Structures are given as structure tokens and as C-alpha cells.
């Protein structure tokens, strides 16, 4: 219990332990812990940045969606307009075509009528000559009177 030379040994041991801790234990721990703290801080900052980026991306996506909707609406409007235009043009085309066809048909009919008239005229001439022949059978020479008949036919 009384103090003795043990104190010298204990003091030396204590100093040695403190020195060793100071040189070989504390700095290593300090480095490891400080670096980890830095890493954790970095990680936290990164996650915060990630969250912020996500927020931005969401905003951007919403903006893009809005733009796309507006564009689509515009396109639909244009398409409707174009549609009515096309329909209008088609109607016009159809009308003019119909007109053309009608005109063609009328021309054809006229032609047909003319042809029939020619035909009829030729036959009537023949018929008239035949009739006249029948009437004048005995005293008229068909050949001698042919020029009169021709004149008659031309007058038809």
C-alpha cells in the first residue's frame, strides 16, 4: 500500500502507452473515421442531388406532356380542316365531272339524232322515189326524172 519504486515503472509504462496510442492508434482511427464521415456526407449530398434531379425531371416530363397534348390538339384541328377541304374539293370535282359526263352524253345523243335523221332522210328519199315510181310507173322514166327526185331529196 505504501508508495515505493513501483511508481517509477508505472510512470514509464504509462508514458509508453500514451506515446504508442498517440503515434500508432489515434491517427489511424482518426483517418478512417474522418474519411468515412466525408464519404457519408458525399453520399447524403448525392442523394439530395438525386432527389432534386428527379424533381426537375418530373417537371420536365409534365412540360413535355403538356406540349405534346397541345400539339396533338393542333394536329387534330388541322386534320379536321383539311378533311372538310378535301370533302369540298371532292364535291366540286364530282359536280364538274357530272357536268362533263352530261355534256358528253348530250353530244352523243345529238350525234345519234343527226345520224338517225340522215338515215331517215336517205330512206325517205328512197321511199319518196319508190312512191313516186309507183304513182308514175307507167309514164315516167325513173332515170330521166332522177335529177328532180334528187332535188326533192336535197330539200328535205
Partner 1 sequence: MSAESSSGYIKHHLQNLQVCSTENGWVWNTMENMECKGNFWTFNIDTIFFSVFLGILFLWLFRSVAKKATQGVPGKWQSFVEIVYDFVDSNVKDTFHGKSNLIAPLGMAIFVWVFLMNFMDLIPVDWLPGLAGLMGIDYLKVVPTTDVNATFAMSISVFILIVFFSIKIKGIGGFTKELTLNPFNHPIAIPFNFILEGVALLAKPVSLSLRLFGNMYAGELIFILIALMYAGTFDGFGGASLGIFGALLHFVWAVFHILVITLQAFIFMMLTIVYLSLAHEDH
Taking the least distance from each CB to partner 1, the nearer of 19 and 118 is: 19
Per rule CB under 8 A, is residue 22 in the interface with partner 1? yes
Per rule CB under 8 A, is residue 144 in the interface with partner 1? no
Per rule CB under 8 A, is residue 44 in the interface with partner 1? no
**C-alpha grid cell for residue 21?**
496510442
Per rule CB under 8 A, is residue 14 in the interface with partner 1? yes
Q: If binding means CB under 8 A, how many residues of this protein chain bind partner 1?
A: 31
Q: Using H for helix, E for strand and C for coil, what is the string for the chain?
A: CCCCCHHHHHHHHHHHHHHHHHHHHHHHHHHHHHHHHHHHHHHHHHHHHHHHHHHHHHHHHHHHHHHHHHHHHHHHHHHHHHHHHHHHHHHHHHHHHHHHHHHHHHHHHHHHHHHHHHHHHHHHHHHHHHHHHHHCCCCCCCCCCHHHHHHHHHHC
CB of 41 to partner 1, least distance (A): 12
Per rule CB under 8 A, is residue 139 in the interface with partner 1? no
Per rule CB under 8 A, is residue 28 in the interface with partner 1? yes
Per rule CB under 8 A, is residue 86 in the interface with partner 1? no
Is the Cα torsion angle 128, 134, 136, 139 positive or negative in sign? positive
The interface region with partner 1, picked from 18-26, 78-86, 107-115, 140-148 by CB under 8 A, is: 18-26
Among 33, 70, 122, 136, binds partner 1 (CB under 8 A): 33
> Interface with partner 1 by CB under 8 A: which residues?
1-11, 13-15, 17-18, 20-22, 24-26, 28-33, 35-36, 39
Amino acid at each position: 500500500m505504501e508508495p515505493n519504486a513501483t511508481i517509477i515503472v508505472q510512470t514509464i509504462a504509462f508514458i509508453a502507452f500514451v506515446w504508442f496510442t498517440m503515434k500508432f492508434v489515434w491517427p489511424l482511427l482518426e483517418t478512417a473515421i474522418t474519411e468515412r464521415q466525408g464519404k457519408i456526407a458525399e453520399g447524403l449530398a448525392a442523394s439530395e442531388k438525386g432527389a432534386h434531379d428527379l424533381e426537375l425531371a418530373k417537371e420536365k416530363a409534365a412540360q413535355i406532356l403538356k406540349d405534346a397534348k397541345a400539339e396533338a390538339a393542333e394536329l387534330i384541328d388541322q386534320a379536321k380542316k383539311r378533311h372538310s377541304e378535301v370533302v369540298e374539293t371532292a364535291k366540286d370535282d364530282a359536280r364538274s365531272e357530272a357536268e362533263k359526263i352530261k355534256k358528253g352524253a348530250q353530244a352523243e345523243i345529238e350525234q345519234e339524232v343527226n345520224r338517225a335523221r340522215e338515215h331517215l332522210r336517205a330512206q325517205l328519199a328512197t321511199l319518196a322515189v319508190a312512191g313516186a315510181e309507183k304513182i308514175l310507173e307507167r309514164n315516167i322514166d325513173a332515170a330521166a326524172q332522177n335529177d328532180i327526185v334528187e332535188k326533192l331529196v336535197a330539200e328535205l
